[in-house]
Chains A and B, each alone.
Chain A
Amino acid sequence: MYQYDKYDQTMIDQRVAQFRDQTRRFLAGELTEEQFRPLRLMNGLYIQIHAPMLRVAVPYGMMSSRQVRKIAEVARRYDKGFVHFTTRQNFQMNWPKLEDVPDILAELASVQMHAIQSSGNCIRNTTSDQLAGVNANEIEDPRPWAEIIRQWSTFHPEFAYLPRKFKIAVVGSHEDRAATKLHDIGLHLVKNHEGDVGFEVLVGGGLGRTPIIGEQIRPFLEKQDLLSYLEAILRVYNRLGRRDNKYKARIKITVREHGINHIRELVEAEWVHIRDQLKLDKKEVERVKQYFTEPAYELDAADSDSSYADLLAQDKEFALWVKQNTADHKVSGYRAVYVSLKKPGQAPGDITSEQLEVVADLADEFSFGEVRSTHTQNLVYTDVKQADLYALWLRLNAENLATPNINTLTDIICCPGLDYCGLANATSIPLSKGIAQRFDDLDYLHDLGDIKIKFSGCMNGCAHQSVGHIGILGVDKKGEEWYQFTLGGSSEADASLGERLGRAIPKDEVVDTVAHLLDAYIDLRYEDESFLATVRRIGVDPFKERVYAADH
């Protein structure tokens, strides 16, 4: 993975010093809360119900074992011994003290981590496919490009005070594991007719209260023009984006109000002026790419191992875990292994310091010392030899990190909701736990197959409920917590927004409603038809009848 050189390190060290001084001035009363706010936000610091919340960037999800150990240490020393992984591959600490934050940032800087631009109206952490580099269907590894974008976007002097936050995601294959169509800018590495690889550029996607799927602004961008094109989009947005109403300030609204064609004209007109100045040279691309070379795979890993097939046959639990929690790898004899942070009864995405330390040890032992976070709030080891799977499984299982539920109903994406978040209308974590506990029968879960539940505590939609196969949204009705369901959303290559099921549902019926939806699905599906495909085929009405009929 990428390693800082003296330039990168100097800049983050200077950032820590700068923030230390800002915090000091705030605590001394020299900065008002209003003046301090954007400064702390640009360092990932929110003020929430219980305490400040610190969001730390994990660029495109990659972490070394050394970094993971540091996260464990910081969480133990400055927080309550756990962290929360988010839907943008970052992690959050929910209980740090404001006066400790400069020290936390200094600790993180010592392992090349930071919280820069992890909130605020600036360019946020660039995200990517958690299987980048190991996926057999990849056109090109997106990570060097994500790193190049990270550097360009970090401390960009012109774009620190945008109308609203700005998120970029980049993927290297047609499978979209990074929700690129729901980002302010989505980048797809594609091959054109001549066989050259470049970027398809989408703009104006987003979730929140007005979910919109991004539109194509350019079908093919040569790779060396990446930064100039991004800069052109950002400059047009910085000038044109609305600043009068924060709900209309995202670029998705700018695109909708002006039309994609007009935005394209403006961007392309801007781009011609800056294209040469920012053209990426081979030297830089090679410099970054050298950090993303393949690890030393054993090329006979498949042939040299005879135990795996036997273990699969003998141990049903192991076989189930392999089927559900591991993914194909481009090198035969290797697999990618998901670490489930969705054990029923636990808050989705939470992990303790002790677990993090085991995760780090196992990374060293089994996956070249690296682990990645996913946008579904799990972790993944990307390079595990099949002969090591059994040993790894036993160790993960001992730490409650091997629940075989990746991509199943209980792999719920959930925001903090009323438990931590000052904006929440309704509880989300306890109900997610309730759903996970009700449907914990593994045979049932695997029979249901791929179902994505996404659960947000308010319209801001941090858990992407509008693109959940089943989306659940907390709403406030005269001080009571109610829940609006949507069906049929997707954040992948076939992205779509969910359709409303009907009127909102009271809190004590949420888990039952999920049960009715599942019963309806089982009755109505064709053999092997997924939940999403079934909803798309028959629409929401049959589900609606089932859910609301149960009322009478």
Chain B
Amino acid sequence: MQQIIKDREIVEDNWQHLDDEAALVAGNITVSITRWQEQHETLSHHEGGLGIRLSGDDPLEEIVPDLGRFQLVVLLFPAFTDGRCYSYARLLRDRYNFKGEIRAQGDVLYDQLFYMSQCGINSFELANPNRLTQALAAFDDFSESYQATVLRPEPLFRRR
């Protein structure tokens, strides 16, 4: 089982990401938005944890009514330069009040962890899983932010 960073700790991952063709299995699973939309009924009866995977191409707003069904939303970063899911994470937290786990997957590098966490992402499958301990330090790259962020909802200008 692979290790991930969750809530600033290295933990064993206990989720399985199912392809659209893969048979359903017991335990915690994530599916693509397409599969969720097609197999809504069946998946609703799944006994383990259920998560959904979204990329910046997927229509976030379409799954908002279903968010209560998911314990995990996985945001895909096909390239670290694709910043769309930073906005998705913020919207999920700030606007749609999603309280479950939000995970970054794909080209997720140490140097993006600080910004990702400020946007509300709390677990990370790093592209290079060999440097997890080192990566933990990245959360402390900065001790302050000017902006209103998910971790600090009051912008600095109201706190100084």
Tell whether A273 pairs with B95 under 8 Å between CB atoms, given A5-B160, A14-B142, A157-B118. yes
Q: Tell yes or no: A502 within 8 A of B by CB.
A: no
Tell whether A155 pairs with B142 under 8 Å between CB atoms, given A239-B87, A280-B157, A281-B158. yes
Q: Tell yes or no: B66 within 8 A of A by CB.
A: no
On whether the beta carbons of A238 and B158 are closer than 8 Å, the reply is: no
Q: Tell yes or no: A152 within 8 A of B by CB.
A: yes
B95 surroundings in chain A (CB, below 8 A): 273
Q: Tell yes or no: A368 within 8 A of B by CB.
A: no
On whether the beta carbons of B109 and A35 are closer than 8 Å, the reply is: yes
Interface residues of B in 79-132 (CB under 8 A from A): 80-84, 86-87, 90, 94-95, 109, 111-112, 114-116, 118-119, 131
Contact with B along A237-275 (1 / 0, CB 8 A): 011000100000000000000000000000000000110
Q: Tell yes or no: A444 within 8 A of B by CB.
A: no
Q: Tell yes or no: A161 within 8 A of B by CB.
A: yes
| Distance between Cα atoms of A277 and B155 in the complex (Å) | 8
Tell whether A152 pairs with B115 under 8 Å between CB atoms, given A7-B160, A38-B80, A284-B157. no
Contact for B156 among A7, A18, A38, CB less than 8 A: A7
Q: Tell yes or no: A48 within 8 A of B by CB.
A: no
B119 surroundings in chain A (CB, below 8 A): 157-158
Tell whether A278 pairs with B148 under 8 Å between CB atoms, given A22-B111, A151-B156. yes
Q: Tell yes or no: A503 within 8 A of B by CB.
A: no
Which residue on chain A has the smallest CB distance to residue B137? A21
A18 surroundings in chain B (CB, below 8 A): 141-142
On whether the beta carbons of A161 and B86 are closer than 8 Å, the reply is: yes
Query: How many Å from the CB of A244 to the closest CB on chain B?
Result: 11
Query: How many Å from the CB of B116 to the closest CB on chain A?
Result: 8
Which residue on chain A has the smallest CB distance to residue B127? A35
Which residue on chain A has the smallest CB distance to residue B138? A18
On whether the beta carbons of A10 and B143 are closer than 8 Å, the reply is: yes
Q: Tell yes or no: B145 within 8 A of A by CB.
A: yes
Interface residue range, chain B? 35 or more
On whether the beta carbons of A155 and B146 are closer than 8 Å, the reply is: yes
Q: Tell yes or no: A223 within 8 A of B by CB.
A: no
On whether the beta carbons of B141 and A239 are closer than 8 Å, the reply is: no
On whether the beta carbons of A278 and B155 are closer than 8 Å, the reply is: yes
On whether the beta carbons of A14 and B143 are closer than 8 Å, the reply is: yes
Query: How many Å from the CB of B86 to the closest CB on chain A?
Result: 5
Contact for B160 among A22, A158, A287, CB less than 8 A: A287
Query: How many Å from the CB of A157 to the closest CB on chain B?
Result: 4
| Distance between Cα atoms of A148 and B156 in the complex (Å) | 11
| Distance between Cα atoms of A39 and B142 in the complex (Å) | 15
A157 surroundings in chain B (CB, below 8 A): 86, 114-116, 118-119, 145, 147, 149
Query: How many Å from the CB of A397 to the closest CB on chain B?
Result: 43
Tell whether A160 pairs with B147 under 8 Å between CB atoms, given A278-B155, A284-B157, A287-B160. no
Query: How many Å from the CB of B73 to the closest CB on chain A?
Result: 16
On whether the beta carbons of A155 and B87 are closer than 8 Å, the reply is: no
A274 surroundings in chain B (CB, below 8 A): 94
Q: Tell yes or no: B56 within 8 A of A by CB.
A: yes
Q: Tell yes or no: A112 within 8 A of B by CB.
A: no
Contact for B86 among A7, A152, A238, A287, CB less than 8 A: A238
Q: Tell yes or no: B65 within 8 A of A by CB.
A: no
Query: How many Å from the CB of B11 to the closest CB on chain A?
Result: 23
| Distance between Cα atoms of A35 and B131 in the complex (Å) | 15
| Distance between Cα atoms of A15 and B155 in the complex (Å) | 19
Q: Tell yes or no: B144 within 8 A of A by CB.
A: yes
| Distance between Cα atoms of A22 and B155 in the complex (Å) | 27
Which residue on chain B has the smallest CB distance to residue A153? B146
A5 surroundings in chain B (CB, below 8 A): 160
| Distance between Cα atoms of A522 and B116 in the complex (Å) | 60
On whether the beta carbons of A243 and B157 are closer than 8 Å, the reply is: no
A159 surroundings in chain B (CB, below 8 A): 83, 86
A287 surroundings in chain B (CB, below 8 A): 157, 160
Contact with B along A272-313 (1 / 0, CB 8 A): 011001101100100100000000000000000000000000
B84 surroundings in chain A (CB, below 8 A): 238-239, 243
B80 surroundings in chain A (CB, below 8 A): 35, 38, 161
Query: How many Å from the CB of A308 to the closest CB on chain B?
Result: 44
| Distance between Cα atoms of A162 and B85 in the complex (Å) | 11
Contact with B along A18-43 (1 / 0, CB 8 A): 10001000000010000100110000
A121 surroundings in chain B (CB, below 8 A): 81, 83
On whether the beta carbons of B87 and A238 are closer than 8 Å, the reply is: yes
Q: Tell yes or no: A11 within 8 A of B by CB.
A: yes
On whether the beta carbons of A158 and B82 are closer than 8 Å, the reply is: no
Which residue on chain B has the smallest CB distance to residue A161? B83
| Distance between Cα atoms of A7 and B145 in the complex (Å) | 9
B115 surroundings in chain A (CB, below 8 A): 155, 157-158, 160
Q: Tell yes or no: A165 within 8 A of B by CB.
A: no
Tell whether A284 pairs with B158 under 8 Å between CB atoms, given A158-B87, A161-B80. yes
Q: Tell yes or no: A50 within 8 A of B by CB.
A: no
Contact for A277 among B87, B148, B160, CB less than 8 A: B148
A243 surroundings in chain B (CB, below 8 A): 56, 82, 84
Query: How many Å from the CB of B91 to the closest CB on chain A?
Result: 8
A152 surroundings in chain B (CB, below 8 A): 146-147, 155
A14 surroundings in chain B (CB, below 8 A): 141-143
Which residue on chain A has the smallest CB distance to residue B95? A273
Q: Tell yes or no: A154 within 8 A of B by CB.
A: yes
Which residues from chain A sit less than 8 Å from chain B, CB to CB?
5, 7, 10-11, 14-15, 18, 22, 30, 35, 38-39, 121, 148, 151-152, 154-163, 227, 235, 238-239, 243, 273-274, 277-278, 280-281, 284, 287
Apart from A22-B111, A157-B119, what are 8 other A-B pairs with CB-CB below 8 Å?
Answer: A7-B146, A15-B142, A152-B146, A155-B147, A161-B81, A274-B94, A278-B148, A284-B157
23 contacts across the A-B interface (CB closer than 8 A): A14-B143, A30-B131, A148-B157, A152-B146, A152-B147, A152-B155, A154-B146, A155-B146, A156-B146, A156-B147, A157-B115, A160-B86, A163-B83, A235-B87, A235-B90, A243-B56, A277-B94, A277-B148, A278-B148, A281-B157, A284-B157, A284-B158, A287-B157
Chain A to chain B: the 9 pairs with minimum beta-carbon distance, closest first: A161-B83, A157-B118, A157-B115, A284-B157, A151-B146, A158-B86, A18-B141, A238-B87, A14-B142
Which residues from chain B sit less than 8 Å from chain A, CB to CB?
56, 80-84, 86-87, 90, 94-95, 109, 111-112, 114-116, 118-119, 131, 141-149, 153, 155-158, 160
